[in-house]
Structure formats: structure tokens, C-alpha cells
């Protein structure tokens, strides 16, 4: 409501003319009266104010839901951390978690899938199976049972994918190796050894291998491509260490050797093989994952040849996956792929991301 006041002037002029009948000249008298009148004009103005109202969507309550988790194989340090995070996050959310261990076995993975589908009370399943060929069959088993699936780290047709961007993680490792060579060897590199694994599941690990190679090449532009050698690293620490020892024997004169491995345990095994061969000063290795094995090697400097590793944050898997499963059960639209945020961890930044307790 606004009030406007105007001052209006009204002039009342009265002129009186007296004409003398006498012979004297006429006299004119003029009287001016000015009156000021105050007039109030009231104007109504409509003002519309838009006030934003925040409406908070209630999160879907997962309490009482039953989810199944078929783990990769708890014998691996990285997986043991993932398993623990899954249990903790499920308990925190009030979710009943039916846990089965695939034990790094394609046969057991198929058996576990059949057990889960036969229960009849599983609302959603998290599948973590290394052997990608079996994942086609596993995907069909859960599809027929009408159970939604979230695949962990290794894709399953028709399932939501959660896990690493393996190419990018490998690339970070390759860049870390190349930067070490630039900082400490003036960019001189005699050989680059890059682990590959040609067993089932190789599509995922092949992305890591290619990423490592790309990271090295993009940082060492003058590196001869013939100096990059791929080799089979095996599926356990003993095989990895033996494979690296064999490769080092094949290049006895090399003094500047970069080795990119596909996991932290294998990366530490490669560094150990170099030190056992008396060539620790000539070798630097990386892993992938940032599990307890890799982080302890970085922090302690033992073995000294182990440089670092890109994070996969195994301790966060459960805290990401259980809420993701809840969103799926709530009918929300979720991305087809959910990637982990990778960072290369070495002695320079380990305390920033993993401070000592």
C-alpha cells in the first residue's frame, strides 16, 4: 500500500471595478486570494513476492530389505576390506545382508548365484565375480529370478556397474612411473614391463594394462614403443613375483626399468623380486587399488622400489553400494555406470588421503 500526497493551488481572483461618476480618473482595485488545499490520493499497488520453498525428498528406508553379496574372494587383501565395508554399511542401514564368498572360483560363483536365486527373499544382489565369461550365465540366472543386480568391478550384461574406471586408473599408474623417470633418471628408460592377465575377466584388466601403457607414452613422448613389453603376471603373488624375476633375467643390462602391475600385492611382489635380484636401484613399480598391502609399502618404504598406486577406495565400497541398492529398490533412476574417484597415492600425499591414526 502506497500513499501519495499532491499540493494543488486554487486561485480565486475577485476583481471589483468602481467607475466614478465624477470627472476624476477611474481607480482599479485587484484582490488576489490564494488558497492551498491538501488532497490525499491513495493508490493500491499489488506486490507479488515469490518465496522458494525447499521440499526435501525422503530417502528410501531400506530397513528390513534383504540383499545378497557374492564376494570376489576374501583371501585377497583388497577384497577383505570390501567385504568388511559391505557388512558395516548393511548393518548401519538396517539391511539383512546374505553373504557368500565366490572364493575366486568360476564354479563356486555359479553355485552361489543359484543359491541366491533359489532363496526367494532376496530383493537385490551385488555380484563380484572375476571370471567374466561366467557373468553372462550369472546375469541370466538373476534375470530369470527377477532379482536386480549391481555388478562390482567386472561388468554383467544388463546390470548396473559399480567400480573402477580401469583405463583411467591404469593411466594414473603409468603417469606415476613416467614422472619418476623424468624426476630421477632424466627421462631415460631402458625397458617398460607391463603386466597383463589373459584369463577370464581379462576385458576389465586389459583396460588397466592399456591405461598403464597410455600413461607412460603420454608422459615420455620420445619413448620407443618397442621398449614397452607386456607379460603374464599370474593370478597370485607367487606367480607375479616369479614372472617379474623371469623378465628381469631377460634384460640383464637394463638399468632404468619401469614395471606396471595390475594390483598392489603384485606391485609389491614385483618390487620384492627386483630387490632379491639385487636390482632394486634400477627398478620402480606401481600397483593398482591402494589396499592395505600397497599403503603399508608406501608408508614404510619397504620394498623401496614400490612407488605408489591409484586408489580404488575399497573401504568405501559398501558405503556406496548399499545406498545405491536402496535407490534401485526405491525405483529411482540411477546411472548405468557408477565410477570410483581415482587418485595416485605415493609417499608425497599418502598422509593427505590416509592419515596415520
Domains and CATH numbers, the chain: 2-43 (no CATH), 66-164+315-340 (3.40.50.2300), 166-311 (3.40.50.2300)
State the Cα–Cα distance between residues 292 and 298, nearest whole angstrom. Answer: 10
pLDDT band at 198; cut points 50, 70, 90: confident
**pLDDT at position 202:** 66
State the Cα–Cα distance between residues 200 and 206, nearest whole angstrom. Answer: 11
Please give the full DSSP string across 306-327, using - where no structure is assigned. EEEEEB--GGGHHHHHHHHHHH
Cell representation of residue 244:
617379474
**For residue 155, how many C-alpha atoms fall within 13 Å in the half-sphere facing its CB?**
13
- Cβ distance 86 to 126 under 8 Å? yes
State the Cα–Cα distance between residues 83 and 86, nearest whole angstrom. Answer: 5
What is this structure's pTM?
0.79
Q: What number is the average pLDDT over the span 103-130?
A: 97
| Residue of 155, 89, 184, 132 whose CA lies nearest to 339 | 155
pLDDT band at 235; cut points 50, 70, 90: confident
State the Cα–Cα distance between residues 219 and 150, nearest whole angstrom. Answer: 36
**pLDDT at position 147:** 98
Q: Return the C-alpha torsion angle 59, 61, 67, 71, nearest 10.
A: 50
pLDDT averaged over every residue in the chain: 86
- Cβ distance 337 to 107 under 8 Å? no
Is residue 260 over pLDDT 50? yes
State the Cα–Cα distance between residues 116 and 245, nearest whole angstrom. Answer: 42
pLDDT of 55-82, one tens digit each? 344 566 899 999 999 999 999 999 999 9
Q: How far apart are the first and last CA of the chain?
A: 64
Amino acid at each position: 500500500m502506497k500513499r501519495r500526497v499532491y499540493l494543488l493551488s486554487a486561485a480565486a481572483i475577485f476583481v471589483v471595478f468602481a467607475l466614478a461618476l465624477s470627472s476624476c480618473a477611474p481607480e482599479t482595485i485587484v484582490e488576489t486570494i490564494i488558497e492551498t488545499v491538501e488532497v490525499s490520493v491513495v493508490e493500491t499497488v499489488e506486490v507479488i513476492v515469490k518465496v522458494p520453498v525447499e521440499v526435501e525428498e525422503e530417502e528410501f528406508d531400506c530397513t528390513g530389505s534383504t540383499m545378497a553379496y557374492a564376494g570376489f574372494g576374501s583371501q585377497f587383501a583388497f577384497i577383505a576390506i570390501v567385504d568388511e565395508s559391505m557388512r558395516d554399511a548393511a548393518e548401519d542401514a538396517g539391511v539383512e545382508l546374505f553373504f557368500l564368498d565366490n572364493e575366486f572360483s568360476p564354479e563356486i560363483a555359479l553355485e552361489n548365484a543359484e543359491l541366491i536365486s533359489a532363496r526367494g527373499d532376496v530383493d537385490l544382489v551385488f555380484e563380484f565375480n572375476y571370471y567374466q565369461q561366467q557373468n553372462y550365465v550369472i546375469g541370466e540366472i538373476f534375470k530369470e529370478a527377477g532379482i536386480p543386480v549391481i555388478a562390482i568391478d567386472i561388468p554383467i550384461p544388463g546390470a548396473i556397474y559399480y567400480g573402477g574406471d580401469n583405463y583411467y586408473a591404469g593411466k594414473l599408474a603409468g603417469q606415476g612411473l613416467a614422472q619418476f623417470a623424468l624426476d630421477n633418471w632424466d627421462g631415460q628408460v631402458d625397458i617398460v614391463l607391463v603386466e597383463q592377465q589373459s584369463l577370464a575377466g581379462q576385458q576389465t584388466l586389459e583396460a588397466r594394462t592399456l591405461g598403464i601403457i597410455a600413461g607412460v607414452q603420454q608422459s615420455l613422448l620420445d619413448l620407443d614403443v618397442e621398449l614397452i613389453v607386456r607379460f603374464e603376471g599370474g593370478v597370485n603373488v607367487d606367480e607375479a613375483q616369479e614372472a617379474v624375476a623371469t623378465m628381469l633375467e631377460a634384460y640383464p643390462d637394463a638399468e632404468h626399468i619401469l614395471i606396471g602391475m595390475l594390483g598392489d600385492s603384485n606391485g609389491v611382489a614385483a618390487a620384492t623380486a627386483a630387490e632379491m635380484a639385487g636390482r632394486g636401484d634400477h627398478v620402480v613399480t606401481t600397483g593398482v587399488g591402494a589396499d592395505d598391502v600397497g599403503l603399508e609399502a608406501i608408508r614404510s618404504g619397504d620394498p623401496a622400489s614400490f612407488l605408489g598406486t591409484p586408489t580404488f577406495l575399497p573401504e568405501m565400497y559398501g558405503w556406496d553400494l548399499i545406498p545405491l541398492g536402496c535407490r534401485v529398490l526405491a525405483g529411482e533412476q540411477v546411472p548405468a555406470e557408477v565410477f570410483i574417484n581415482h587418485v595416485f597415492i605415493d609417499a608425497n600425499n599418502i598422509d593427505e588421503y590416509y592419515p596415520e591414526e
